[in-house]
Amino acid sequence: MTHPMDLIPAPLHQEVRGDSPGSCSLDERTTLDAGPGTASTARWLRTVLGAATGLPFADGTGPHAIRLRVSEDVEREHGPEGYRLTTEDPEAAVVIEGGGPAGVFWGAQSLRQLLGPGAYRGAPVSGGPRDLPYVTVEDRPRFGWRGLMLDVSRHFMPKTDVLRYLDLLAAHKLNVFHFHLTDDQGWRIEIKRHPRLTEVGSWRARSKWGHRASPLWDDTPHGGFYTQDDIREIVAYAAERHIRVVPEIDLPGHSQAAIAAYPELGNGDVVDTAALTVWDTWGVNPNVLAPTDAVLRFYEGVFEEVLDLFPADVSPFVHVGGDECPKDQWKASPAAQARIRELGLADEDALQSWFIRHFDRWLAARGRRLIGWDEILEGGLAEGAAVSSWRGYGGGIAAAEAGHDVVMCPEQHVYLDHRQAPGEDEPVPIGYVRTLEDVYRFEPVPPGLPPEAAAHILGTQANVWTEVMENRSRVDYQVFPRLAAFAEVAWSALPAPEERDYQDFARRMGTHYERLDALGVDYRPPAGPQPRQRRPGILGRPLEGTPPNV
């Protein structure tokens, strides 16, 4: 049985007043009273609730209004993303006060949940959702960085699907979209000064079907890219939903698509870069960027266009990857070895650090901050850089204790490409078993971290790598319902993992599954995959045993 107070993520405080829910109703008299700073939330409410209820929500004040306000009192108590939502106010039907514009928007997301699963439909069903409980909700997020990383390089996701995922993030009060745009298997962003990046680098002739050890291939050419106007639309759409976008341009590894387009970017003295094509399989690729001034100038040009497309107010961070960069070509390359000597570097790890430090300074001079995967710690961490700690807690702990900001996204806990159950019916099983309950018990702040280091934990992020996710339905299956558990971990003031009330969360998920159904999300059902969601006979790479914590 659904209940309107089954909010996900769980709020800090909620109180139901009156004998029964549904005694406060929206109707044709309901208006929107939008104060300064709340125009984007008013537009959003008219779009989604107008469609679901069939109501016009005209501008207006009075006892039937939904009043939206930025409140200094709420900001002092709950911060800029906090909010207070009340119904049965003598001066308005619904009052949403936020500590800032984002707080008002998150309050509006809770209003949508309170109206029931029908509020997630695109047209009224049975008259539309109009009844509200008499309620007070006060809420604020635990972390300022609550993110999802989506890999569109391994399998391209059309722009409309990206916009849909931004809506799904917003529905779960997540506020960071990490956009993984380049990799060995495809370059997905138009760069006008280097057109071959998309003319050549955005398409591969075929794709490995399943894990890289699988003998199966999909021989359909795969590719696509976002035009610069597509990117501007995505960024503006995210900003309307108070979501920051973190673009990722991978270097110096994960670069074969770029080298295939421009062979001079690679280590041509040890490999025939002119013969390289966009990679068609998965894993760690040996072809990395050459450590030359020409390569630096090339990528500075790339980043100049990226910064123009991702304004600083929406994208203060720029991700440069920095992970899984094999050093074999640099070790074998006379030119790379000469560069190491010229720069006075100790070894190839220091050469990778030289790449990262260069772009850290370059981005900082333009008012941005560099963030990279925890391999950027190797060879010395660039000053001012932040770390995405993916190989466990260890890199994040080291970075935080050294005074660097950290986003916790350890693969053992929040890589949503990992399988959700041990059964043979799971499609293309990858990695460790990470159940809905496992994700719910994830703790982003490592136990025992000193308070001064813990203050550098910006927040947390779930990562979705799409090697074995060939379309939107496969992405949905891997991401949901676990993203709902992750969202509660990132937002709510939960107790220690072993003390969390998973049974209550699972009960509230009964209502949330109905919301996901209304949104058309192809999630994994609690009882296991439906027949059409299985992928029999496709080799995966399941890891056995308990995943390590560090």
Q: Is the dihedral of CA 118, 124, 127, 132 positive or negative?
A: positive
Amino acid code (one letter) for 241: R
- CB burial of 245-259 (b: ≥16 within 10 Å; e: otherwise) equals bbbbbbbbbbbbbbb
Residue of 6, 81, 151, 183 marked catalytic:
183
Verify whether residue 324 is a known catalytic residue: yes
77 is catalytic: no
Is the separation of the CB atoms in 18 and 136 below 8 Å?
A: no
CA angle, corner 313, sides to 310 and 318, nearest 5?
A: 50
Instruction: Dump strand ranges (E) for 355-413.
Output: 369-373, 386-389, 406-408
Q: Is the dihedral of CA 526, 527, 533, 534 positive or negative?
A: positive
Distance of alpha carbon 281 from alpha carbon 206, whole angstroms: 8
Query: How far does the chain reach from its first CA to its final CA, in angstroms?
Result: 40
Strand blocks (E) in 261-323:
317-321
- The answer, yes or no, to whether the previous bond of 446 is cis (omega within 30 of 0) is no
Rounded Cα distance, 351 and 149, in Å: 27
CA–CA separation, 450 and 462 (whole Å)? 24
Q: Residue 130: name the closest of 43, 208, 50 by CA.
A: 50
Catalytic residue among 88, 89, 324, 349: 324
Q: How far is CA 64 from CA 12, 56, 98, 254, in A?
A: 27, 13, 20, 56
User: Taking Cα atoms as reference points, which of 299, 316, 317, 354 lies closest to residue 189?
Assistant: 299
**Which spans in 29-136 are helix H?**
39-53, 72-78, 101-114
In whole angstroms, what is the distance from residue 50 CA to residue 48 CA?
5
The yes-or-no answer on residue 308 being catalytic is: no
The SS3 of residue 215 is: coil
Q: Which of 172, 254, 413, 512 is catalytic?
A: 254
d(CA 419, CA 149): 17
Residue 291, both tokens: 């450590």
Contact 319, 246 (CB under 8 A): yes
User: Distance of CA 101 to CAs 69, 106, 239, 360, 372, Å?
Assistant: 8, 9, 11, 31, 29
Tally of CA atoms within 13 A in the half-sphere of 164 that contains its CB? 15
Q: Which two tokens stand for residue 482?
A: 């676990």
Cα dihedral 537→540→544→547 (10° resolution): -150
Q: Residue 127 contacts by C-beta under 8 Å, 6 or more apart in sequence?
A: none
Contact of 356 with 322, CB cutoff 8 Å:
yes
- Which residues are known to be catalytic? 183, 254, 324
